[in-house]
Amino acid sequence: MGIKTALPTYELGLYFLVVTCAIAYSGMEIFESSQGLADELGLESINRKTFRDNIKPGWHYFGRKMDTADFEWAMWFSSFRNFIIFALSGHVLFAKICSMTVPQHRSVVYMVYGMLTVLGTMGTTYLTIILAHCLVLYTIAITKQKWLCFVAGLCSLASFKVEPFSTWQSEFVTGTFDLQDVLFYGGSGFSIMRCMSFALENCERKDGNYSIFALLKYNFYLPFFFFGPIMTFDRFYEQVHVSELRRKDYEMWHIRLNAIIHLLAIVAVDMFFHYFYILTLPSDMKFVSRLSDWALAGLAYSNLVYDWVKAAVMFGVINTIARLDHLDPPQPPKCITMLYVFAETHFDRGINDWLCKYVYDYLGGNHDNILKELVATISTFLVTTLWLGPCEIVYIWSICNCFGLNFELWVQQFFQLKPFASMEGGMSEAMSRRIRAFFGAANFWAIVLYNILALNSLDFALLVSRRILQLGK
């Protein structure tokens, strides 16, 4: 249920004023802590190996060191930057030529270019492994047995996520390429999810089967191959086979605007990492334990906002290229500042759409039955756990979020009972908003604390929960 009416202007203004002041207050202490850390790292006697490993030389002329604790971000804009620009620029060039000359065959061009890029980047063995998994899952797909397709797909996914099978396969791909491991597991995991989508959609097809080339064209579309997002096969197949390519009004203007916004976001994050060491600070528990409650809460919150920005930039750049190819990719992630319900907590809309279509909505139906919802959520988070890679932190994260989603439904159904509905009907709009805001705030902090687990560590999450929720000093 939503709030009866929008917030009055004065309440909205007061809310933004309080939030701005809180962020500014906590940000000042985080900045001072980062500045103190940067000064200490200039001393040879400092005994913080983690800090020394993560804080690298940055802007020489401004005398600022840079937080490089996020391997992905550092990878994209250092060793992987030239490859990204070269590979994606080539894709855009060939796609443009193809769309102008033979638009009916553009999916074939995408496939050939994608396969050649994967071959040149990762080698023959890696391409052979991916093709072998595609062939196996295609063979099972033509049986049109959903349960068999799902079991086979999960087994293939487990072979890349569970030891010793993952190491056994990765050992076939040997070389000196620095990003080989990242691209190996990234491309492999997304390939299996795409193959499962193909197999499940093939089961729904009434007349015959899709061809093996339809699967290869879907899987080897380069912008989505290594890092996603996942676009379900039915949507991709329908959009990529449109022969008359037309732009909507102002579509190219929006594409250019989004490209500029993502470029500015990259610059802003780079500046932020030179002045706020939000990723490195949580690695030293003794250091962060001395921070005030405001600074600690701001540090935890800024980690979540950064993770959203990173996902928005990554998927935004890829989605911009996909839109140039006349595709409608999954929406960007929803900002953490707009989340107060577990049902909307997802940083990857592609994976979320995939899970909702093939697991959550399929098992949960209309989501009114508590038992069906419990089965649907548990199944969804089991698949998610396998997708992320089973480990202690992922187990805790999955259990917490699974409980939060179910508890949300239980509370909602409980307060929809007639006595409570009548009580709310008799309340003023302001009182109704305040009651809902109270429960929304509790949910919001639960979402924040649960996701800190995946981004930092269990110790840091426990420190934040203890300081903010229990002591509150």
Taking Cα atoms as reference points, which of 19, 30, 21 lies closest to residue 279?
Answer: 30
What mean pLDDT do residues 327-350 have?
78
Assign 3-class secondary structure to 400-455: HHHHHHHHHHHHHHHHCCHHHHHHHHCCCHHHHHHHHHHHHHHHHHHHHHHHHHHH
pLDDT recorded at residue 46? 46
Burial readout 169-184 (b: 16 or more C-beta within 10 A, e: otherwise): bbeebeeebebbebbb
The pLDDT score that the predictor gives to residue 20 is: 64
**Tens of pLDDT, residues 186-240:** 889 999 999 999 999 999 998 889 999 999 999 999 999 988 789 999 999 999 9
Percent of the chain with pLDDT over 90: 22
Helix or strand or coil: residue 67?
A: strand
The arithmetic mean of pLDDT across residues 427-450, rounded, is 76
Could you read off the pLDDT of 99-143 as tens digits, one per residue? Answer: 888 878 888 999 999 999 999 888 889 999 999 999 999 999 999
For residue 427, pLDDT over 80 is answered with no
Whole-angstrom CA distances from 397 to 353, 448, 452, 457 are 20, 11, 9, 11
Per-residue pLDDT at 120: 86
Poorest-pLDDT segment among 10-24, 110-124, 436-450: 10-24
pLDDT > 70? residue 14 = no
What tokens does 459 get?
């110790």
Residue with tokens 């916004």: 261
Question: pLDDT digits over 264-279, tens only?
Answer: 888 888 888 888 888 8
Q: 259 with 319: CB under 8 angstroms?
A: no
From CA 261, how far away is CA 254, in angstroms rounded? 10
The H or E element spanning position 317 is helix 293-324
Secondary-structure percent of the chain, ordered helix, strand, coil, rounded to 5: 75, 0, 25
Answer whether residue 412 shows pLDDT above 90: no
- The answer to whether 293 and 468 are in contact (CB under 8 A) is yes
d(CA 231, CA 321): 14
pLDDT at 2: 40
Q: What contacts 146, CB < 8 A, 6 or more positions away?
A: 200, 203
- Domain positions in the chain are 9-74+255-337, 81-240, 340-471
Beta strands in 72-198 (DSSP E): none
pLDDT at 212 (0 to 100): 94
Percent of the chain with pLDDT over 70: 85
DSSP string, 256-305: HHHHHHHHHHHHHHHHHHHH--TTTGGG-HHHHTTS-HHHHHHHHHHHHH
Question: Cα–Cα distance between 322 and 210 in angstroms, integer?
Answer: 23
Residues 151-166: what's their mean pLDDT? 90
Least confident range from 184-193, 370-379, 430-439: namely 430-439
Supply 180's token pair: 């080989």
What is the per-residue DSSP string for 95-111?
HHHHHHH-GGGHHHHHH
Please list the residues that pair with 392 across neighbouring strands. none
Instruction: Note the pLDDT tens digit of each residue in 57-103.
Output: 777 667 777 877 887 777 777 766 667 778 888 888 888 888 888 87
Those residues whose C-beta lies under 8 Å from the C-beta of residue 394, and which sit 6 or more positions away, are 385, 388, 454
**Residue 435 confidence (pLDDT) above 80:** no
Q: Does position 261 have pLDDT exceeding 70, yes or no?
A: yes
Q: What is the per-residue pLDDT for 3?
A: 41
State the helix-helix crossing angle for 429-455 and 293-324, rounded to 10 degrees: 80
Is the pLDDT at 400 greater than 80? The verdict is yes
Q: Which amino acid is at 6?
A: A
Task: Give the rounded distance of the alpha carbon of 210 from its chain centre.
Answer: 30
Say what the pLDDT of residue 60 is: 67
- What pLDDT is stored for residue 4 in this prediction? 42
Query: Distance between CA 160 and CA 158 in Å, rounded?
Result: 5
CA 419 to chain centre: 40
pLDDT-derived band at 381, boundaries 50, 70, 90: very high
In a 13 Å sphere around the CA of 161, the CA atoms on its Cβ side amount to 23
* Comparison of pLDDT for 389 and 419, the residue scoring more: 389
